[in-house]
């Protein structure tokens, strides 16, 4: 996710209201000392579509493309507050989750993975999202689920790093 109050080099990538706009800046990220820089292809920011995201409680052992939208179109039954669906015979309970205010979710794609970890990696923006549906087996997602806890962090970080006035000391 990206926030509008990012460092200057990153602010040009997503403009007002999270709308992508072209910038000549490059975004670099260093995940750890042993990983290579990751470059965002800024030409991919122009006109990125909004996407519908579903986070499923399973692992798919496939690294290629797949026509997911053709085969995974959940018939969602609305309950009181939760969504439910059957996926491969298993009951899933879901909850629609919004990204934190002031942020926009990004779906990034790496066209060609480098041969070594030291090589520069380039990703491009595939789409953006403002909400996603989180699914669990048999039970609805709760406040204790890892993703929901992670989405609380931007607000916590903002409070921790906010300036303290003399009155608050």
**More confident of the two residues 106 and 79:** 106
Is the whole-model pTM more than 0.75?
A: no
Q: What phi and psi, each to the nearest 5 degrees, are found at residue 157?
A: -60, -40
* pLDDT for the residue 8: 30
Architecture per CATH, domain 2-162, reads as Beta Barrel (2.40)
Contact 124, 108 (CB under 8 A): yes
* pLDDT for the residue 104: 87
* Per-residue pLDDT tens digits for 75-99: 666 655 668 888 878 888 888 899 9
Domain-wise residue ranges, the chain: 2-162
Q: Tell me: pLDDT of 28 over 80.
A: no
Q: What share of the chain is helix, strand, coil (3-state, %, to 5)?
A: 20, 30, 50
Report which of 153, 53, 150, 155 is spatially closest to residue 94, judged by C-alpha positions: 53
């Amino acid at each position: 996710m990206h926030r509008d109050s990012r460092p200057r080099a990153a602010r040009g990538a997503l403009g007002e209201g999270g709308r992508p706009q072209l910038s000549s800046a490059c975004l670099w990220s260093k995940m750890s000392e042993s990983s290579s820089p990751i470059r965002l292809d800024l030409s991919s920011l122009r006109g990125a579509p909004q996407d519908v995201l579903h986070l499923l409680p399973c692992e798919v052992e496939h690294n290629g493309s797949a026509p997911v939208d053709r085969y995974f179109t959940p018939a969602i039954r609305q309950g009181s507050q939760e969504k439910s669906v059957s996926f491969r015979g298993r009951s899933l309970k879901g909850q629609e989750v919004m990204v934190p205010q002031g942020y926009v979710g990004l779906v990034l794609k790496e066209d060609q993975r480098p041969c070594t970890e030291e090589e520069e990696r380039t990703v491009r923006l595939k789409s953006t999202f403002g909400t996603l549906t989180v699914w669990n087996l048999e039970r609805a997602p709760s406040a204790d689920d890892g993703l929901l806890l992670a989405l609380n962090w931007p607000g916590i970080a903002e409070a921790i790093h906010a300036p303290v006035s003399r009155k608050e000391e």
